[in-house]
Amino acid sequence: MAEVSVLEAVRMALDEAMARDERVFILGEDVEAGGVFRATEGLAAKYPGRVIDTPLAESSIVGIAIGAAHYGMRPIAEIQFADFIHAAFDQLCSEASRWCYRTKGDAWLPLVVRTPWGGGVHGGQHHSQSIEAFYAHMPGLKVVAPSFPADYRSLLLAAVEDPNPVIFLEHKRTYRLIRQELNGAPAETRIGKARVTRRGGDLTLYAYGLMLHECLAAAEELAAEGIECTVVDLLTLRPLDTEAVLEAARATGKVLIVHEDTLTGGFGAEIAALIAEHAFEYLDAPIRRLCGPDIPPIPYHPAMEGFYMPDRRKIAAAARELAAY
């Protein structure tokens, strides 16, 4: 078995997708040279003419991908940082999301938009945003946010094969931090399915991306104190695996939802509303969210970024309070 990083798993999936289907091509800023994180390194030489540099114009990148997908190609558009994807908001939310609906299912739009997101890398206000709530809000878009290399590989391949537009979020802090042994064919991870990564009877933690790993670390610490946590890796934010979310909430009766995006209007509010509406009678405590504070950007200074970001220490503290309720 070979141990690979998240970044290597992404590159592996891109390579596999291009080898399988000659309609697959990559476009984005500096992708011919590998991109700023080296996710596409080596692919331009291996697949001549199918890894294409673009101008610094995110609206054009997504617009070109929409046109190519409409005419039978399978584009993978890279937005260099998620902070810049909003320049393509209209293309994604007014065009791509509605393509199938407005044609009554006669036309599909198989495109993938990959983008690095999240904090913890001292990127400051323009390179640290969490943008998932904006796009998970939009019917017609699928939003995927894996945590482990195996899931990055399998879900990226699934996204390329999906007939719908998929926004594929890659947490930049995990690129080289998180490693996992991979061997053989991709795991059977499906878009729209969550996974319980740890089981315990006292409370449930929900997370995705970097925060999933922080939740697992907190759960280990809490286990030594006799507090056993179920940890749910959401994997896909749209479509959300509502069955898995509700099953875990009903099993423990206490839930803590963790994400690094700001609290107000963050994706955790959707999970909280779902549980409150469909599993209220199973709850033994108020639903708790642990999120980033409501400030416009993530600060650059390490101390202030640490204040902003949820982490295993903060998660463990919130979980202790919840378990004692």
Annotated catalytic sites, by residue? 127
Structure token digits, residue 143: 């939003």
How far from chain centre, in Å, is Cα 148?
A: 11
Bridge partner list, 196: 232
How far from chain centre, in Å, is Cα 56?
A: 23
* Phi-psi map region of 277: left, alpha, beta (phi>0 left; psi -120 to 50 alpha): alpha
The CA-to-CA distance between both ends of the chain, in Å, stands at 44
Dihedral, CA atoms, 214, 220, 224, 228, nearest 10 degrees?
100
Residue 185 vs residues 17, 151, 153, 169, 287: alpha-carbon distances, Å: 13, 12, 10, 22, 39
Please report how many Cα atoms fall inside a 13 Å half-sphere around the Cα of residue 170, on the Cβ side: 30
Sign (positive or negative) of CA dihedral 129, 172, 133, 308: negative
How far from chain centre, in Å, is Cα 4?
A: 19
Contacts for 54 with CB less than 8 Å, ≥ 6 apart: 27, 28, 29, 60, 61, 64
Contacts for 51 with CB less than 8 Å, ≥ 6 apart: 25, 26, 27, 31, 32, 40, 43, 44
